[in-house]
Amino acid sequence: MARGAAGIAPPRLDHTLVTAPEPGKAIEFFQTVLEFRLSEMLVAPDGTVIAAWLWQRPAPHDIAIVPGKPGGFHHAAFVVDSADALFRAADILAMHKARIDYGPGRHGITRGTTIYFFDPSGNRLEAFGGYTAYQMDPDSRAIRWTQDQIGPAVFYYSQELNETFLSVYT
C-alpha cells in the first residue's frame, strides 16, 4: 500500500504541549536559554503569564507550556497541510475507531484547525494545521488572552474546554 493511501501520513511533528508547576520559570527558560519567541500567551488578572505558545520557526508555535505537574506531557501534534486534510484525518480516525477527545474544530489561539485523539497507549495526539493566514513576523507582539477567554482561545467553535482536555495528561 502506498504511503498515505490508508493513513493520515503527517509529514512532520508540528509541536508539543507540556506542563510546568511554575509556567513562568519554564517560559523564561525557553525564551532565555533556547531563544524561543512568544507568539501567544494566557495571562492572569494581574498580568502574570500563566501559559505560553512559543516558536522558533515561522509557525504559530513549536512548544506550548501550561500549568500542571512537573514534566507533564499533554500532547504532540502532527501537521496536516489543510483543513481538508484535517477532515480526512478525522475520517481515518473514525474508521479506525480511535478515541477522539475533541474535534474536528478550530483553535482561537493559533487559528489552526485541530482534532485531538488518543493512541492505543493513551497518549493524546493532535492533527493540526490549516493556519494559512497565520504568518509570524519577528517583530510582532505576542497576542494576549485572558482567563475569561480560555474556552474560545482553545476551542473556538464550542467556546469551552472539555473535561478530558484539562485532566488527562501524563
Active-site annotation holder among 40, 74, 102, 126: 126
Q: How far apart are CA 63 and CA 3, in angstroms?
A: 28
What residues form DSSP beta bridges with 126?
77, 116
3-class state of residue 116 by DSSP: strand
User: Is 74 considered catalytic here?
Assistant: no
Q: How many helices (H) and strands (E) does the chain have?
A: 4, 9
3-class state of residue 151 by DSSP: helix
Active-site annotation holder among 40, 74, 116, 169: 116
User: Is 40 considered catalytic here?
Assistant: no
Closest CA to 125 of 112, 116, 114, 134: 116
User: Is 126 considered catalytic here?
Assistant: yes
Q: How far apart are CA 71 and CA 68, in angstroms?
A: 8
Q: How far apart are CA 103 and CA 89, in angstroms?
A: 11
User: Is 96 considered catalytic here?
Assistant: no
The grid coordinates listed for 137 are 513576523
Active-site annotation holder among 75, 102, 131, 169: 75
Residues tagged active-site: 15, 61, 75, 107, 116, 126
